[in-house]
Amino acid sequence: MEMIGFVGLGTIGSAIARNIQQAGYPMMVRDILPEAAQPLIDGGAQPAGSPAELARHCPVVFTSLPGPREVEEVALGPEGLLQGVQDGSLYVDLSSSSPDLIRRIEAEFRLRGAEVMDAPLIVGKDGVANRSLQVLASGALEAYEKVKSLLDTFGDTVVYTGEVGTGTVIKLAHNLVRRGIGLAIGEGIVLGAKAGVEPRLLWDCMRWGLEVQLHQLGKTFLETVFKGNYEAPASFGIGLSRKDVGLATELGRQHDVPMPIAALVEQIMVQAIGRGWSEQSTLSLFRLQEEAAGIEVRMQPT
């Protein structure tokens, strides 16, 4: 069995590397902090003095690093993977990084006869150690097929997303939405608490409604947004929704709670109402973003 290389043994990287090791693969590991690699070495992995040394011994190398600066240094730096990579080798970056960077790295490695993939991760409810991961693998299809069994050792869902960089684009878009939702929830929780509601009761009621909303989006988003079906009247349209958001921002003013997210949402709704969309679903607000970006987000017919 070929030796697998792994660089970057922080909280996520070490858990992934342990799952690969427990699946029976021999490993060579490297981290800027030697103590981070020690548990894997104790389990039989070999240490590497540099990323270049690791690449010379391992036909498949993974990295899990904090960000683009570290990815570039490990991949392309003076003692980086590029200096040791072999013809036919495969480098897979699991980091949350930059699509432009991974495409530049891919071009450099291709000149040495090596392949590059990005495969960033979306962590599920059971955590990395329990393989609760969606792996967004992008790059050449042949490279994906070559490494799929390895990805399965640490991810319970592996998705092939297409050409190199597309996995990273999905990860960045996902993280943006995830953090934005968290900030909006925080704004509502602080408002409710300052207005006198017990926080746990507030959260339990809010969570129930949010679960309903996510369920409804799962049913209606594909039919409305991806088909451009914005014109159909809704039982609870933008006009009524704007009224509720306006009442919330008014309550915020009464209690001196800053609400920048709610204020922005209200202004976007006002813009849509000015376009004559008051009776349409709030999903019609998506159309304003499409127009601003100059793109229509539509599913390709199958």
> Tens of pLDDT along 246-293?
999 999 999 999 999 999 999 999 999 999 999 999 999 999 999 999
| Class of domain 198-293 (CATH, top level) | mainly alpha
d(CA 65, CA 59): 19
CATH code of the domain made up of 4-169:
3.40.50.720
Domains 4-169 and 198-293 share a fold: no
> Tens of pLDDT along 94-116?
999 999 999 999 999 999 999 99
Q: First CA to last CA across the chain, in angstroms?
A: 40
What is the predicted pLDDT for the residue at 235?
Answer: 81
Radius of gyration of the chain (CA): 24
Q: Band of the pLDDT at 301, cuts 50, 70, 90?
A: low
What is the predicted pLDDT for the residue at 222?
Answer: 86
Residue with tokens 């934005």, as numbered in its chain: 180
Q: Band of the pLDDT at 233, cuts 50, 70, 90?
A: confident
Q: Where are the domains of the chain?
A: 4-169, 198-293
d(CA 45, CA 21): 8
